[in-house]
Structure 1
Amino acid sequence: MNKDSRDFSFSFKTLGSIAAILTAGYAIGHHKEQKSLIIRRARNRRIMLASLPLALLTTGPLARKIVQKNVTKAITILTTDEYGKNVIELWTAIHRAGVQNIVENNLRATQGTTINRPIGSSKRFDGFDNLMFVPPQMTMVSKSGETAVDMKVTLGPKAAKPLTVNIPLLISGMAYGIALSEPAKIALARGAKLAGTATNSGEGPYLKEERDEADKYILQIANWPWGLRTDQEIASADMLEVHISQGGQKGVFYIAPDEIKGKARKLMGLSRNQGISGLPAPPGVQSAADWPILVNNLRNKANGIPIALKLMATDKIEEDLGLAVDAGFDVIAVDGTQGGSLVSNPTMQDDFGIPSLHALVRAVRYLQKRGIREQISLIVSGGYFNPGSCLKALALGADAIYLGTVPLYALANKQHKKVIPWEPPTVLVSYASKYNKKLNINLSAERVSNVLRSMTVEMEQAIRGLGKTSIKELSPSDLVALDTFSAELTGVKRAY
């Protein structure tokens, strides 16, 4: 190594050492400076806290005077300004028309067309609140907590391959593309599987990924051009459900080209700028005479699985049930006016149909009158938000309950913070939302399963408390009515 190289090497090492020393010195100094800053901040906080009482003592009277002056001024304005110029007019308007009506009419004024209200009606219809269970006490001992309770349900008993689920709670039809995103549909299917129940395709195009995740799968025959489904799609189902209408929706809807994009548009068979209209009934049905033909055609493809019918409950429910039974349906799903929808207007949600409790009682009585109650399965839906109302429906004669709103909100459980407060949690599951990719499928599936299991366990505990071991043992005699109306409607005993 020559002298220049040694000098260079020496200089380089020397500079490196100096840099290291300076860096270490800076770090030590910076650490001391940070420590000193922390100490000063702590001291300042102590001083501020110590002086707070003095500050309050000196500024309190001034603050009280300012507050008193402004409150007095506000009250004077409210109590002296003539009504036409008084802000209290808004309070009167809100009480007279209601916040929801004011908001919805402003939306109508802005849009100039029909508005679609998400979820369903906010009206309070006749329900199960005034029906109470009557547990035995002195006459019979309730079942112990270890007693197994049979919660299984078999739908379509007269079909060659009835659908059996472990719990009486089913995931209601919520359409892919028209309403829900692919992650949401997958999470519902996976959650239903974990809970031991069935999920429903809804009216949307067939989503293979949803079917792959589901155990028991109900495929809707829908009022859309794709509604009859392919033979392969039908072969993948455990039950078919012909959809005519639902609690919050009846009629034909149009989907504009810009409302459906991406994968759903492709599965619907739409070209780039093509919109699509729904149909008044499944393809091929033009009159009442066509229903038996449709059922027969589906039966030939269904390979023995049950064929169900879903319809809105109306005052013509007995007439509708008669045609359904004569057409050959194995299962009938009746959706009360409390049923929700993501694509229907407020008038349909608030002013169409009859309440779920009315529909349930009338449907059971009709099937009993015809002597076919044990042959036709009855699913009810619309406004069932808690285990108590579900259990009362089972006692009054329902075989199973469709749940929509409950699992829908469970999907977003523990994920609200991704969008709140600027957006509602439903944007996490909507197909048209830019936020739907934020949904954690595994977490959503777990939450859906949890809410179904929790409701089931709660019902099991109630059944044990009634001294029973199966949902099949429930009957109207397990209930008592707190008012005359509920007693007359349901036929159960009054509590007075």
Structure 2
Amino acid sequence: MFEKIMNKMMMSIMNNMMDYMWKRMMEEPYTENLFSMVTIMQKLSPRAIIEAGMRAESGKPIERPLGTYNILSEWNKILLNPVHLYRLPTQDGVEINTKTVIGPKAKKPLKLEIPILITGMSYGGALSLKAKIALAKGATMAGTATNSGEAPLVNEERQAAKYFIGQYNRAGWMNNHEQLKELDAIEIQLGQGAQAAAPMGMSSHQIGEDLRKAKKLKPGEDAMIHTRLSEMNQPSDFIKVVKNLKNKYDVPVGLKFCATHYLEKELEIAVKAGIDFVVVDGAEGGTHGGPTTLEDDVGLPTLFALSRTVRFLERVEVKDRVSVIASGGLTTPGHFLKAMALGADAIYIGSIALMALLQAQMAKALPYEPAPQIPLYLGKFKEDLDIEEGAQHLAKFLKSCIEEMKLTMYSLGKSDLAQLDRSDLVVVDKNLSDVLGVDYAGYLPKVRKIEQKNQYIYPSVMSEEKEEDFRLH
């Protein structure tokens, strides 16, 4: 009885409120009408309004976590080509090879069990030590590598990682022999997709004692990341940096940079320097928190940058010795397969790796704080992160992705991820077909060469001439 009375009272209150609001919206002029906020948000978007308020409050650049909302890489317009008779599907029971090699021509190539790697997210500048250890442990369980990010070598992280890639960085925190000799690959970091090569800093009052010691900062000294490496005053200096590192260390030496419309010109210098791998970091790349203009309006989308990088390396005939790691906004097994079919040898993941690592642990922050408050160095819940649980969940996520990729390989009629190429793709957009050099779904497959017999086949019932006529009409 009491419940019915309460329900009736609540419905009566709600009815009166709805009547009042509806009457106002129907009768008041637009300039006084609350409904005007709907049209305002359609024009400006809730994001623009909130970010304008943040700028108006602080008067400083605002930093948005995990990168841009503006995803321009149209992976959803690319599909993989299964086979039935043109080529038989791979026999079930056949083992699908998932191994990859970074820097195959280096003295000590980096050989991994899977091609999905954990990208550079730095201790202190981005993540807590607990988060870095969890990422390293999860990567080790899955047989892959983790990356230091722009940070010094941290013993706990290095010990947790079987394969460790360290960034030779613009702050200089890992640019000495004692740290470089501990690495399985050296990644020269000239920029990243979410922040390009802009100078970044961390105030001294935000830096804990352990981080201060690791970065060898004086009390009161801010942590600064500069726009350039200290030894680079002109583009040709990069060649000296690479040759110096390759002369001292046997591991692969590579370049990471923010994907740019000038990438072929920059890659020309990098190839001349003798790099063993290149990380092409697209504009959709994540970050712990970056200025929104750098996240949203700078650089090339990952899809276009990857395609151009691979085609340039093929054109100058070095793709067999220069590995390509695709990075920036890749989140699903489908993304990974498509990127590899376009020529990537491996994939870097960051934001999605953190989400997998946190899994149910997000509840420790939600709904009071956003989930990134758990893994971030300055996060309010960083001490609540369970390292072992996070590592297990990351490893399971990577295993799940690989198993899905294997299943897809059976349907493509292939037995090795390294066998993927553009012929395994089709696109549903004509312009994208031309840009990527991938068949358009509305036309018949292109002529392909049979290398062994030095003949050409046309996998269609139409002749080449008829197909051309079909296109024209």
**TM-score, normalised via structure 1 length:** 0.86
| Contact 1:127–1:356 (8 Å) recurs in 2 | no
Q: How far, CA to CA, are the matches of 2:248 and 2:368 in structure 1? A: 48
Aligned residues: 441
Which residue in the other structure is 1:311 paired with? 257
User: Which secondary structure state, in structure 2, belongs to the residue aligned with residue 412 of structure 1?
Assistant: helix
| Contact 1:307–1:330 (8 Å) recurs in 2 | yes
Q: Does 1:451 align with 2:397?
A: yes
Which residue in the other structure is 1:202 paired with? 149
Q: Does 1:223 align with 2:170?
A: yes
1:104-163 CA-to-partner distances (Å, cap 9, x unmatched) read 111111111111111100012032111111111233432244220011111111111100
Label 1:71 to 1:317 Cα distance change in 2 as closer, same or farther (>3 A): same
Which residue in the other structure is 1:240 paired with? 186
Which residue in the other structure is 2:133 paired with? 186
**Structure 2 matches for 1:77-156, cutoff 5 A?**
77-156=24-103
User: Which secondary structure state, in structure 2, belongs to the residue aligned with residue 409 of structure 1?
Assistant: helix
Query: Of 143, 153, 159, which aligns to 1:212?
Result: 159
Shift of residue 69, structure 1, vs aligned partner: 4.1
Which residue in the other structure is 2:115 paired with? 168
Letter in 2 for 1:241: E
Q: How far, CA to CA, are the matches of 1:59 and 1:190 in structure 2? A: 53
User: Which secondary structure state, in structure 2, belongs to the residue aligned with residue 309 of structure 1?
Assistant: strand
Query: Of 438, 447, 452, which aligns to 2:384?
Result: 438
Q: Does 1:329 align with 2:272?
A: no
| Higher Cα Rg, which structure | 1
Letter in 1 for 2:229: P
Shift of residue 485, structure 1, vs aligned partner: 2.1
| Contact 1:387–1:456 (8 Å) recurs in 2 | yes
User: Which secondary structure state, in structure 2, belongs to the residue aligned with residue 220 of structure 1?
Assistant: strand
Letter in 2 for 1:320: E
| Contact 1:227–1:282 (8 Å) recurs in 2 | no
Q: Percent of aligned positions with the same letter in both sequences?
A: 34
**Structure 2 matches for 1:329-368, cutoff 5 A?**
329-368=275-314
| Contact 1:356–1:381 (8 Å) recurs in 2 | yes
Letter in 1 for 2:209: G
Which residue in the other structure is 1:486 paired with? 432
Q: How far, CA to CA, are the matches of 1:68 and 1:247 in structure 2? A: 51
Label 1:67 to 1:436 Cα distance change in 2 as closer, same or farther (>3 A): closer
Q: How far, CA to CA, are the matches of 2:206 and 2:11 in structure 1? A: 56
**Structure 2 matches for 1:247-266, cutoff 5 A?**
247-250=193-196, 251-266=198-213
User: Which secondary structure state, in structure 1, belongs to the residue aligned with residue 64 of structure 2?
Assistant: coil
Which residue in the other structure is 1:5 paired with? none
Q: How far, CA to CA, are the matches of 2:348 and 2:31 in structure 1? A: 50
Shift of residue 244, structure 1, vs aligned partner: 0.4
Instruction: Show structure 2 runs of 5+ residues with no match.
Output: 443-473
Query: Of 267, 272, 283, which aligns to 2:219?
Result: 272
1:368-397 CA-to-partner distances (Å, cap 9, x unmatched) read 110111111111101101000110011111
Which residue in the other structure is 1:3 paired with? none
Q: How far, CA to CA, are the matches of 1:341 and 1:380 in structure 2? A: 16
User: Which secondary structure state, in structure 2, belongs to the residue aligned with residue 193 of structure 1?
Assistant: helix
Q: How far, CA to CA, are the matches of 1:59 and 1:456 in structure 2? A: 52
Shift of residue 344, structure 1, vs aligned partner: 2.0
The two structures, once aligned, show a CA RMSD in angstroms of 1.7
Which residue in the other structure is 1:422 paired with? 368
| Contact 1:332–1:379 (8 Å) recurs in 2 | yes
| Contact 2:166–2:174 (8 Å) recurs in 1 | no
Query: Of 450, 454, 463, which aligns to 2:409?
Result: 463
User: Which secondary structure state, in structure 2, belongs to the residue aligned with residue 308 of structure 1?
Assistant: strand
Which residue in the other structure is 2:423 paired with? 477
Letter in 2 for 1:332: V
Shift of residue 356, structure 1, vs aligned partner: 0.7
Label 1:441 to 1:59 Cα distance change in 2 as closer, same or farther (>3 A): closer
**Structure 2 matches for 1:28-43, cutoff 5 A?**
none
User: Which secondary structure state, in structure 1, belongs to the residue aligned with residue 426 of structure 2?
Assistant: strand
| Contact 1:331–1:376 (8 Å) recurs in 2 | yes
| Contact 1:186–1:213 (8 Å) recurs in 2 | yes
Shift of residue 231, structure 1, vs aligned partner: 1.5
Shift of residue 455, structure 1, vs aligned partner: 0.6
User: Which secondary structure state, in structure 2, belongs to the residue aligned with residue 284 of structure 1?
Assistant: coil
Shift of residue 487, structure 1, vs aligned partner: 1.0
Shift of residue 466, structure 1, vs aligned partner: 0.7
Shift of residue 462, structure 1, vs aligned partner: 0.3
Q: How far, CA to CA, are the matches of 2:108 and 2:65 in structure 1? A: 36
Bigger share in helix: 1
Shift of residue 225, structure 1, vs aligned partner: 3.4
Shift of residue 70, structure 1, vs aligned partner: 3.5
Shift of residue 175, structure 1, vs aligned partner: 0.4
Query: Of 204, 215, 228, which aligns to 1:281?
Result: 228
| Contact 1:312–1:353 (8 Å) recurs in 2 | yes
Which residue in the other structure is 2:357 paired with? 411
| Contact 1:338–1:349 (8 Å) recurs in 2 | yes
Query: Of 97, 102, 106, which aligns to 1:159?
Result: 106
Which residue in the other structure is 1:369 paired with? 315
Letter in 2 for 1:297: N
Shift of residue 66, structure 1, vs aligned partner: 5.5
1:335-369 CA-to-partner distances (Å, cap 9, x unmatched) read 01101112420000001011111011111111111
User: Which secondary structure state, in structure 1, belongs to the residue aligned with residue 278 of structure 2?
Assistant: strand
User: Which secondary structure state, in structure 2, belongs to the residue aligned with residue 494 of structure 1?
Assistant: coil
Instruction: Show structure 1 runs of 5+ residues with no match.
Output: 1-47
Shift of residue 92, structure 1, vs aligned partner: 1.5
Query: Of 321, 333, 344, which aligns to 1:398?
Result: 344
Shift of residue 275, structure 1, vs aligned partner: 1.3
User: Which secondary structure state, in structure 1, belongs to the residue aligned with residue 63 of structure 2?
Assistant: coil
Which residue in the other structure is 2:333 paired with? 387
Letter in 1 for 2:295: Q
**Structure 2 matches for 1:3-14, cutoff 5 A?**
none
User: Which secondary structure state, in structure 2, belongs to the residue aligned with residue 380 of structure 1?
Assistant: strand
Q: How far, CA to CA, are the matches of 1:86 and 1:492 in structure 2? A: 52
Shift of residue 436, structure 1, vs aligned partner: 0.9
Which residue in the other structure is 1:291 paired with? 238
